[in-house]
Amino acid sequence: MKFDYDAQYFNPAHTLECGQVFRFKPFGDGYTVLSADKECYVYTDGVKTVIDTDSPDYFRRYFDLERDYREIVEKAKSYNIPMLSRSAEICKGLRILNQNREEMIFSFIISQNNNIPRIKGIIERICSALGERRESGRGEYYAFPSALKIAQAGADFFRSAGAGYRDVFLAETGARIAKEGITDLESLDGAKLKTALLTYKGIGPKVADCIALFGFGKCGSFPVDTWIERVYREDFSGTLTNRVKISEYFTSLFKEYSGYIQQYLFYGKRLNL
């Protein structure tokens, strides 16, 4: 099934290439995207961005298509911060994804102190080895494995997949989630969710903020990495050096818009806007 959306406020490249997701690759005129056990093909055709998938309801939610981003873009511009205004305007088609929560926990454990091509490769090897094989009109793919599968694989497997020191984090967090599930996390507000996520092996403050934002939709979160530190110093004349304090500075400034603005600033700095 195909459905479409205004391309002005849904740019697949900006949405997928901004560091919030790792299971996608170029295909045809756009990208194939994998999430949990689902697949879609997304591309821009003139003034419309088209999504081709057997799971339309899933990907409407995944791409956050019920939300009007015009208001978010205008709010970002209203702060009159030059770099933010430029980024929000040029990247107005960037959308915050609603991703599978378990997948985000494991993916962002892998992401720490890592680069995007390597993260994508590790995740792809894990899915190919542990995930269920599926078919779409674009060929075969593999679902993201369950926490039980991850727990059963053991640290040695993750080391062989290239996860490095994160091998134990994946195995132990997999075992915990396989035993407990994550239902208790889903009802928590942003601050309590972050506190709870910090109790899992391999999850520090930045990873917890990423999981909260990209997996649980907590848009009051503001992950801080090297790029955001540069934004803070160069565009906000900041003097703090502690990333937790920098995150608190931004969340106090941008409040419920923090997650959206973080992505405009992060991607804008990477694009040298």
- For residue range 251-265, list pLDDT tens digits in order: 999 999 999 999 999
Give the integer Cα–Cα distance in Å for 44 and 68.
18
pLDDT of residue 273: 82
Does residue 272 come out as left (phi exceeding 0), alpha (psi in the -120 to 50 range) or beta? left
* Residue pair 223/213 in contact by the 8 Å Cβ criterion: yes
**196 Cβ contact partners less than 8 Å away, ≥ 6 residues apart:** 184, 185, 188
Secondary structure (DSSP) of 112-131 = TT--HHHHHHHHHHHHHHHS
- 48-53 and 2-6 strand pairing: antiparallel
**147 Cβ contact partners less than 8 Å away, ≥ 6 residues apart:** 102, 174, 177, 178
pLDDT of residue 125: 98
pLDDT of residue 240: 97
CA distances to 28, 37, 117, 145, 240 from 142, in Å? 20, 7, 18, 8, 43
Query: What residues of the chain score a pLDDT lower than 70?
Result: none
| Angle of helix 243-254 versus helix 226-236 axis, rounded to 10 | 60
Residue showing tokens 């997949």:
161
pLDDT of residue 192: 97
pLDDT, tens digit, for every residue of 68-125?
999 999 999 999 999 999 999 999 999 999 999 999 999 999 999 899 999 999 999 9
* Residue pair 110/123 in contact by the 8 Å Cβ criterion: yes
Helices and strands in the chain, H and E counts: 14, 7
